[in-house]
Amino acid sequence: MNLPPMVMRVQIRGEEKGFCLWLPLFLLLPLALVLLIILSPLILVAIIILRLSGRGKRVLLGIRTACGLLCSMRLIRAAFGLLCSMRGLWVDISTHNERVRISIV
């Protein structure tokens, strides 16, 4: 089983000085859960409106598909798989006098 990354390291170096910042990614999970709990009534209302309006009128197929995809377990699994595959990612951006390096551990 793949585990999600735990720490993101951001290193910025300028001409004179630079600094390094370690961001614990596991602390973002409770924030994401709180956001999901806050937005869940809006998602539920959107699902109910789409279900009721789909019986009497023709609702655009794209809107119904997007709403069904956002509320599916398939999307949650894909997002978790994407998060787990980010382990070991390096992003290195440099100019002639500045450098930004982001690594996910």
Mean pLDDT, rounded, of the chain: 81
1 falls within a domain: no
Enter the DSSP assignment of 21: E
pLDDT class of 31 with cuts at 50, 70, 90: confident
- The neighbouring-strand residues paired with 72 are none
Buried b (16+ CB within 10 A) or exposed e, 65-77: eebeeeeeeeeee
Whether the predicted pLDDT of 15 surpasses 50: yes
Q: Which amino acid is at 19?
A: F
Greater confidence, 62 or 46?
46
* Boundaries of domain holding 69: 7-104
Whether 77 maps to a domain, the answer reads: yes
Does residue 2 sit within a domain? Answer: no
Count of the separate structural domains present in the chain: 1
Q: In the prediction, which pLDDT does 61 show?
A: 67
Helices 61-70 and 28-56: crossing angle in degrees, nearest 10, is 150
- pTM for the whole structure: 0.58
| Within-domain flag for 42 | yes
Residue 20 lies in a domain: yes
